[in-house]
Amino acid sequence: MTAQSIAQTAQDLAAGKVRSRELLEAALDAAERNKVLNAFITLDADSAVQAADRLDAMRSSGSDGLLTGIPFAHKDIFCTKGLRTTCASKMLSSFVPPYDATVVERLKIAGALLIGKTNLDEFAMGSSNENSAFGAVRNPWNRNRVPGGSSGGSAAAVAAGIVPYATGTDTGGSIRQPAAFCGLTGIKPTYGRVSRHGMIAYASSLDCGGVLARSAEDCALVLQEMTGYDPRDSTSAQRPIDQYSDSLSVSVAGLRIGVVREYFGNGVDSAVATAVHEALNRLERLGARIVDISLPNSAHAIAAYYVIAPAEASSNLARYDGVRFGHRCTDPRSLDDLYSRSRAEGFGTEVKRRILAGTYALSAGYYDAYYLRAQRVRRLIADDFARAFGEVDLLAGPTTPTTAFRLGEKVDDALAMYAADVNTVATNLAGLPAISVPSGFVDGLPVGLQLIAPAFQESRLLNVGHQLQQTTDWHRQVAPQ
């Protein structure tokens, strides 16, 4: 069990105190010991061993970066050339991509040591990691609890100490919510900051790649390697990238943090609220100015999100037709039968539910009432944020209304599951960057503080997260073994 920072591990590697091969063996042992968590869909031990030896050789020749030779895992939504990429779906259970996602390519160039692909909710649709064709993931803090979703396997793998960081994607909270539930730091950057090329699509105007790690400092190092303009993603941002590590040590004195009133309503557990206020008190003691603020249209975010995301999903997932790749039914009687049965067999319950909801929202006669109206509500929500950022530098609140819920608790009630995303979906609708940082515990389960920044101010989020982590040790707590 290591809770060592990435920077420290990089130093140890550089000083020859440890080799990548040893780090890898420790990671694979930890993965084996924690098999019950079901955090991985695919472990790629053989390739990883070869890569570790190659990276050790590279390091001794002096050509390396901070991430070189340090083990990590990719959420199984990022395409990896030659390595099965399932998106936790029966539809893609034997899909081996012929190319690497841009994020995969970039981390490979940085020398990061991939050990495997983590479990998730099928096609990233879910908030508990129970919607996986490869089985549910368990929370390392309490194995009867969910790790959150959809990046639940990535969160469990980091929280269990298997890897120091893992990639994730966030369409409505899928990095921040599992980070909160598993006591991690998770950052969802601005929409367009991380390339979506090769990241299997769920809802294209919301999907965002990011990272889950133990600390803001670790997140800064990894995010630095992931970001940047990519001509293969037509929505990729063509803007300069901050040096995230440079701003970590900046003082938060005078920073105005708006505490979003609405994020403490809507069934937020009072103990969670208290824990989050404690973290805000710490920031106040560091000189930040904590002020009350309102995002008056927050209540409409869930409805807008659950129209827009399924609508985009129904369109994106039309590509799974049993013809070009993915699952195909046996003995199709006609082309139509081939499409309809391959899709019905390949997709799980929640994916079908969202395809149906999205198809309905886009169908003739309902488009204006649902899809177009949801997009106008989206504008309303984005305008709320713009107004708030006229008064404050950052926004804050609990990442989730409660700590991790029990496995099975919400699985039969899709709407209750959707409602739990109340504090995270609005930032995706507005495309803004947000981070979840550990903020204490309630009954032995981690709580997350969410901070939201104006577009492209990831460095500010990492800075404030880091400053908080200089005076608290919540992020250093490790899950019981």
Partner 1 sequence: MNLDQDSVRHIARLARLALQPDEMDSYTKELERVLDLFAQLNLADVNGLQPLAHPLDQVLTLREDRVGESDPDNALLTLAPEAQSGLYVVPKVIE
The catalytic site residues sit at 75, 150, 174
Task: Write the binding mask 16 to 55 for partner 1: x where contact by CB under 8 A, - elsewhere.
Answer: ----------------------------------------
Question: Binding of partner 1 at residue 156 (CB under 8 A)?
Answer: no
Q: Does 325 bind partner 1 (CB under 8 A)?
A: yes
According to CB under 8 A, which one of 43, 52, 212, 355 is a site residue for partner 1?
355
Residue 202, interface with partner 1 (CB under 8 A)? Answer: no
| 379 lies in the binding site for partner 1 (CB under 8 A) | yes
Q: Is 241 in the site for partner 1 (CB under 8 A)?
A: no
Min. distance of Cβ 204 from partner 1 in angstroms?
9
Least CB distance from residue 238 to partner 1, whole Å?
6
Q: Which is nearer to partner 1, 285 or 324 (CB)?
A: 324
- Could you tell me which stretch among 255-263, 354-362, 393-401, 434-442 binds partner 1 (CB under 8 A)? 354-362
Cβ distance to partner 1 smaller for residue 3 or 356: 356
> In this structure, what is the dihedral angle of CA atoms 386, 387, 389, 390, given to the nearest 10 degrees?
120
| Collapsed DSSP state (helix, strand, coil) of residue 460 | helix
Stretch that binds partner 1, among 1-9, 14-22, 350-358, 472-480 (CB under 8 A): 350-358
What residues pair up with 145 in beta bridges, in sequence order? Answer: 406
382 interacts with partner 1 by CB under 8 A: yes
Question: How far is 424 from 173, CA to CA, in rounded Å?
Answer: 5
Q: Rounded distance, CA 92 to CA 322, Å?
A: 10
Structure tokens belonging to residue 444? 């032995």
Cβ at position 8, least distance to partner 1 in Å: 36
Give the three-state DSSP class for 7. Answer: helix
- Does position 261 bind partner 1 by CB under 8 A? no
Contact with partner 1 (CB under 8 A): which of 21, 373, 442, 477?
373
Quick count: other Cβ atoms within 10 Å of Cβ 454? 18
Out of 50, 235, 249, 251, point to the residue binding partner 1 (CB under 8 A).
235
User: With binding defined as CB under 8 A, does residue 343 bind partner 1?
Assistant: yes
Helix-strand-coil split of the chain, %, nearest 5: 40, 15, 45
Q: For residue 225, what are its two tokens?
A: 């390697």
Say whether residue 333 binds partner 1 (CB under 8 A): yes
Smaller CB separation from partner 1, 67 or 429: 429
Of the residues 6, 67, 179, 374, which one makes contact with partner 1 according to CB under 8 A: 374
Question: Rule CB under 8 A: is residue 306 a binding residue for partner 1?
Answer: yes
The number of residues making up the chain comes to 481
Q: Establish if 303 lies at the interface with partner 1 (CB under 8 A).
A: yes
User: Which of residues 1, 319, 356, 444 is near partner 1 by CB under 8 A?
Assistant: 356
Strand-pair partners of 40: 118
Alpha carbons 378 and 1: distance in angstroms, whole number? 43
* Kind and range of the H or E run holding 437: strand 434-442
List the 256-260 sheet strands across, edge first. 40-43, 113-118, 71-75, 165-169, 209-213, 185-188, 434-442, 445-452, 394-398, 256-260, 289-293
Q: Which is nearer to partner 1, 147 or 209 (CB)?
A: 209
3-state secondary structure of 228: coil
Asked if 212 touches partner 1 (CB under 8 A), the answer is no
Of 96 and 253, nearer to partner 1 (C-beta) is 96
DSSP 447-459: EEEEEE-STT-HH
Let me know: does 218 contact 438? Beta carbons within 8 Å: no
Q: Which is nearer to partner 1, 271 or 382 (CB)?
A: 382
1 or 344: CB nearest partner 1: 344
Q: Is 266 in the site for partner 1 (CB under 8 A)?
A: no
Closest of 245, 250, 247 to residue 65, by C-alpha:
245
Please identify, using beta-carbon distances, which residue of 45 and 382 lies nearer to partner 1.
382
CA atoms within 13 A on the CB side of 311: 21
Q: Which of 15, 61, 270, 336 binds partner 1 (CB under 8 A)?
A: 336
- How far is the C-alpha of 55 from the C-alpha of 433, rounded, in Å? 33
Q: What does the alpha-carbon distance between residue 460 and residue 463 come to, in Å, rounded to a whole number? A: 5
Residues 72-131 that bind partner 1 (CB under 8 A): 95-96, 98-99
Q: What b/e string do you get for 153-168 counting C-beta neighbours within 10 Å, with b at 16 or more?
A: bbbbbbbbbbbbbbbb
Q: How far is the CB of 212 from partner 1 (least distance, A)?
A: 22
Q: How many CB atoms lie within 10 A of CB 475?
A: 22
412-451: which residues touch partner 1 (CB under 8 A)?
414-415, 418, 428-432
Q: Which is nearer to partner 1, 360 or 441 (CB)?
A: 360
